[in-house]
Amino acid sequence: MEENGIIPDELDSACRQHAPMAVYLIPTFHNPSTATMPLSRRKEVAEIVRRHEVLLFEDDAYGQLEPNAVPLASLVPERTYFAASLSKCIAPGLRVSLLLTPDQASAEVLVSALRASVQMPAFLMVALVTRWLQDGSAEAIIGAILNESSARQKLAANVLVQHAYSRHPNGHHIWVPLPRNWAKRSSRRMFKGKGWLSLRQNYSASGKASPMRSGFRSAPRAAAPNWSGRWSSLRLH
Ligand SMILES: Cc1ncc(COP(=O)(O)O)c(C=O)c1O
Ligand 1 environment, Cβ below 6 A: 26, 31, 59, 61, 85, 87, 92, 97
pLDDT in tens, 15-58: 999 999 999 999 999 998 999 999 999 999 999 999 999 999 99
Is there a domain that residue 214 lies in? yes
Is there a domain that residue 168 lies in? yes
Is there a domain that residue 38 lies in? yes
Residues 58 and 27 in one domain: yes
Other beta carbons within 10 Å of 179: 13
Please answer whether residues 71 and 26 qualify as being in contact, where contact means their C-beta atoms are separated by less than 8 angstroms: no
Is there a domain that residue 97 lies in? yes
Q: How much is the pLDDT for 140? A: 97
pLDDT in tens, 119-130: 778 899 999 999
Compute the distance between CA of residue 44 and CA of residue 17 in angstroms, rounded to an integer.
18
Residues 130 and 159 in one domain: no
Residues 122 and 182 in one domain: no
Residues 65 and 127 in one domain: yes
> Of the residues 59, 66, 94, 125, which should be mutated to test ligand 1's pocket, given the most ligand atoms within 8 Å of the CB?
59
Calculate Rg over the CA atoms of the chain: 20
- Alpha carbon of 61 to ligand 1 centroid (Å): 6
Domain that holds residue 216: 143-232
